[in-house]
Amino acid sequence: MNRDEQIAAKVEAVYRWIEAEIERAAAHPRPCGQCGRCCDFEAFDHRLYVTSAELAHFTSRTRLAIPPSAGPRCPWNIDG
């Protein structure tokens, strides 16, 4: 396994852990509905960052073109 594959595998492991945490949180009496309404980070002056490894992982696993961002929200956040 080359260095890029090792990095991708580690990012994938982190994402699996995050997914497990999301599933665990879904059992909460008020689970996240993933609607995007409360995730307007710009309104709360929050800044999100992505690492090069995360971006490489994301782009390597999607065949869709990444849409340009028309504002402060993620271009993948639709109707949220």
**pLDDT at residue 80 above 60?**
no
Q: What pLDDT was estimated at residue 7?
A: 86
Buried/exposed code over 18-51 (b: 16+ C-beta within 10 A; e: otherwise): eeeeeeeeeeeeeeeeeeeeebeeeeeeeeeeee
**Long-range CB contact pairs, 29-36, < 8 A, 24+:** 35/80, 36/73, 36/77, 36/79, 36/80
**Residue 57 burial (CB count, 10 A):** 20
Can you give the pLDDT at residue 57? 80
pLDDT at 38: 66
Domain positions in the chain are: 3-60
Q: Tens digit of pLDDT for each residue in 34-74? A: 666 666 777 777 777 888 888 778 777 777 676 777 777 67
